[in-house]
Amino acid sequence: MRVKICGITQPQQSLAIASLGATALGFICVPSSPRYVTIAQIQAAIAPLSQNIDKIGVFANTTIAEISQIVTKSGLTGIQLHGEETPEFCQQLRQSLPQVEIIKAIRVRSLEHLQTTTNYTDYVDTLLLDAYHPQQLGGTGQTLNWHKLNQEFSPSLPWFLAGGLTADNILTALSHIKPSGIDLSSGVEHSPGNKDLHKVALLFQKLDTR
C-alpha cells in the first residue's frame, strides 16, 4: 500500500520520513496554505531522496503554465489537484506533462458527490478522497465516514484515502475500507508543516502490525 505524508516543509524531515517507510511525500504549492513551500524548498527536500519515492506537488485552482513551471524546476514526479479542476483541465494537463502522475483529489461533500469521480477516470492516474471543509482546501484533520464510503465507492482507478488519518485511527479506517494508498498530514504533525517524527514512526509501527 502506498503511504503519502503530505505537507512537508522542512528539508531535513523529508529523508527521515522516507526512511520510516513513506512511499510518497507531498509538497503544498498553494500559496494560501500554512504548509506552502517554494521551488527552492522543494528542491532541497527532494535532493536527498531516492528515485523510488514519489514526490507530489499539491496544487489548487491554478494554471497549467504555473504547474508546469514548478514541476519542471523542482523535480516533482506527480501532481495532486486539490481544487475545482475539471476533467478537461486534467486532460490538458496530461497532454502538457505526459510523464507525470496526476492525482485528482475530491473533497467529498456527500456520498452522491462521489459520482463525480467517474468523470475523471480517463484523464488522471489516481484519485484521492479527502474530507470537505467549507473554509479550508486541505490538511483539515476531518475524517470521512469510512464505513459508508466502503459501501458506496468502488472506483476503477487506484485511490488514496485522506482526511484526518492518524496513528490512532488508521487501523480502524483500514478495517472498514481498502484503499490503494493512504495520505496523512495534520495527524502526524506538531503544527502546520512541522511533522512529528514520533507520530510518523508510530503510524508505520501500526501499519506493520496488520
Query: Where along the sequence are the contacts to ligand LARABZUK (CB under 6 A)?
Result: 6-7, 26, 28, 30, 33, 35, 58, 60, 82, 130, 137-141, 162-165, 183-187
- Least Cβ distance, residue 39 to ligand LARABZUK (angstroms): 17
- Least Cβ distance, residue 168 to ligand LARABZUK (angstroms): 13
Closer of 31 and 98 to ligand LARABZUK (Cβ):
31
- Decide if 38 contacts 9 (C-beta within 8 A): no
Closer of 49 and 165 to ligand LARABZUK (Cβ):
165
- Least Cβ distance, residue 133 to ligand LARABZUK (angstroms): 9
- Least Cβ distance, residue 67 to ligand LARABZUK (angstroms): 13
- Least Cβ distance, residue 98 to ligand LARABZUK (angstroms): 23
Closer of 32 and 98 to ligand LARABZUK (Cβ):
32
Helix (H) or strand (E) holding 80: strand 78-81
Closer of 98 and 204 to ligand LARABZUK (Cβ):
204
**How far apart, in Å, are the Cα atoms of 116 and each of 43, 87, 92, 142, 143?**
34, 10, 18, 21, 19
**Rounded Cα distance, 89 and 46, in Å:** 27
Residue with cell 527552492: 40
Closer of 27 and 98 to ligand LARABZUK (Cβ):
27
**Rounded Cα distance, 43 and 45, in Å:** 6
* Burial of residue 167 (number of CB atoms within 10 Å: 0-12, 13-18, 19+): buried
- Who's near 10: CB < 8 A, 6+ residues apart? 45, 193, 194, 195
